[in-house]
Amino acid sequence: MPDLALRPWRIVLPAIAGLCALALLCAFLARVFGAEVALAVAAGVLVALYAVQLYYLGALGSWLGRPALDGIPGGFGVWADVFARLHRWHRDSEIGRRRLIDNEERFRRTISALPDGIILVDVSMQIEWCNPVAERHLGISLKSDYGLRLTNLVRDPQLVAHVTGGDYSRELIFRPMARPSAVLSLDVIPFEPARSIIITRDVTQSERVDAMRRDFVANVSHELRTPLTVIKGFLESFADSDLDLGPVRRNHLQLMMEQADRMHRLIEDLLMLSRLESEAPVQAEDIDVGQLVREVADEARTLSAGRHRIIVDIETPWHVRGSRDELRSAFGNLAINAVRYTPDGGTVRLRWAEAAGRAMFEVADSGIGIAPEHIPRLTERFYRVEKGRSRGTGGTGLGLAIVKHVLLRHDGRLEIESQVGRGSRFIVWLPASHTLPDAGGAMSCSLLNGGG
Ligand code: ADP
């Protein structure tokens, strides 16, 4: 912004000089023609000056009413200075305005060229702007839908539930009604207290590849199941037979049975994972989690065979809405891991509790612990901290991947804390939307069971 201020001396000095000149002229006229003539001339000059000021004030007033670069009035003296400064100010602000418009236009063109759909919405999901890709993806039009609610225009139930749900930590994958053959991912990014950007991406191709991979793994696992059952059956009948195999062959037979069991568990886990990935959302059963945790504890005790102290704390009667089989499998995997990775004599504690309106299932052990660099990768398929030890304990490397998928389907979250040599805590958080606080009655109980 240029400095437009007019220094006071630029106005006062010329005025004083003019008045002095007028006084001198009047003094001269009074001496030559008399006082009346001098007064008349002075009055005439002052009236003329007043009229000039009024004229320029009027010109300034009408220019301010409709400012235009070419219509700025001219003037003389101080007025010339004032008008020149106004002209400069108006020209600079006009340049700034055009630059702003150019920048905004360029920004919009850049966003329009992106391969993703971008929609700008306000707090009530009213469309403020969107690019052509978003128009194609969701079947909307900026021209006709500007200012309308996105949730009224796009009636996909999944989309409506997601954008009004308020939890934007995960993207939504859905088939839009406008293009049922496509699969879209949708992200909501709040960026001002009252505004959000919605990003849509066409993931049809990658979803297709993913589905092919899932089907392939599921089919292979399924095809392997039958021959493996036959092999296991023959191995068992060999083992049970009275044939004199000798100690070496008996040992080989034993190893073959162990490996066949491992393969069987691997196939079952792979099938479970592909079911979790491809099946429709969980059916909503009312699950008495306290009861479920006791069942899981019994399973852990069977595996431990008295080698560990297994404690069960049921601190809340809360029930959960979800799939019992899936939660049983997830909680079971955590409890079995705790037993497997805790040396004999250690403690495993299973806890079902509530905290800050959410339900939590915690498995804490005094086992070998996990180094911090491994923790973010534990839920990847076949990720193992120590390959040898995991196989030795009968692990498939898929347990925590199953836990992750089950929790995804229940809007839950897994938290892992661990210290090498001191033990681990695996905490499953289930949101309030999946809990039934009243279902189990008002009483809570705490059970303490020794190992074995
Ligand atoms: P696995 O079948 O090999 O146990 P998981 O997916 O269940 O596979 O676990 C992945 C890895 O996480 C394990 O190989 C193990 O190294 C580590 N792990 C899981 N639970 C525990 C635990 N309670 N204590 C220490 N390490 C654990």
221 within some domain: yes
Residue 315 CB neighbour total at 10 angstroms:
15
Q: Are residues 438 and 386 in the same domain?
A: yes
- Note whether 24 and 104 are same-domain residues: yes
Q: The domain spanning residue 289 has which CATH number?
A: 3.30.565.10
Q: What is the pLDDT of residues 433-444, one digit of tens each?
A: 888 876 654 333
Q: Are residues 289 and 438 in the same domain?
A: yes
Contacts of 94-99 spanning 24+ positions with Cβ under 8 A: 94/69
The 3 state secondary structure assigned to 262-327 is HHHHHHHHHHHHHHHHHCCCCCCEEEEHHHHHHHHHHHHHHHHCCCCEEEEEECCCCEEEECHHHH
Residue 336, in any domain of the structure: yes
Residues 323 and 442 placed together within one structural domain of the fold: yes
Domain range for 390: 285-447
Our measurement of the distance from residue 226's CA atom to the centroid of its chain's CA atoms, rounded to an integer in Å, reads 43
pTM over 0.85: no
The whole-number pLDDT of residue 75 equals: 76
Query: Is residue 391 in a domain?
Result: yes
Q: Is 316 part of a structural domain of the chain?
A: yes
**What's the confidence (pLDDT) of residue 199?**
96
Q: Mark whether 131 and 243 lie in a shared domain.
A: no
Question: Which of these three, 178, 202, 226, is where a domain ends?
Answer: 202
Residue carrying structure tokens 């400069």: 88
Residue 3 within a domain: no
Q: Which residues of 334-354 are buried (b: 16+ CB within 10 A; e: fewer)?
A: bbbbbbbbbeeebbbbbbbbb
Quick one: 411 and 304 in the same domain? yes
Please say whether the beta carbons of 344 and 305 come within 8 A.
no
Ligand 1 centre distance from Cα of residue 281 (Å): 27
| Domain contains 2 | no
- Probe target for ligand 1 pocket from 347, 378, 424, with the most ligand atoms within 8 Å of CB: 378
Mean pLDDT in each 10-residue stretch from start to end of the chain (452 residues)? Answer: 71 86 92 90 91 89 82 79 85 91 90 90 93 92 94 90 86 88 94 90 93 91 93 91 85 92 93 86 86 97 96 94 94 96 97 92 97 95 80 82 94 95 96 76 38 32
Task: Report pLDDT for 452.
Answer: 30
Residues 290 and 272 in one domain: no
Distance separating alpha carbons of residues 266 and 275, to the nearest angstrom: 14
Based on the fold, state whether residues 127 and 98 are members of the same structural domain: no
Task: Single out the residue in 183, 202, 221 at which a domain terminates.
Answer: 202
Q: Which atom of ligand 1 is nearest to the CA of 396?
A: 2
Indicate if 425 and 305 belong to the same structural domain. yes
Q: Which of 140, 132, 131, 130 is nearest to 179 (CA)?
A: 140
- Is residue 452 in a domain? no
State in Å: Cα 85 to ligand 1 middle.
77
Same domain, 228 and 375: no
> 435 C-alpha vs ligand 1 centroid, how far in Å?
28
Same domain, 121 and 84: no
Ligand 1 atom 8, closest CA: 397
Ligand 1 centre distance from Cα of residue 390 (Å):
7
Q: What is the pLDDT of residue 392?
A: 67
Q: Could you tell me if 407 and 428 are in contact, meaning their C-beta atoms sit under 8 angstroms apart?
A: yes
Which of 179, 202, 225 is at the close of a domain?
202
390 lines ligand 1 (CB under 6 A): yes
300 and 418 share a domain?
Answer: yes
Quote the pLDDT of residue 444. 38
384 Cβ inside 6 Å of ligand 1: yes
Q: What is the CATH number of the domain that holds 180?
A: 3.30.450.20
Number of structural domains (the chain) is 4
Per-residue model confidence (pLDDT) at position 89: 87
Q: Give the side-chain half-sphere CA count within 13 A for 106.
A: 6
User: Considering the domain boundaries, does residue 155 fall inside one?
Assistant: yes
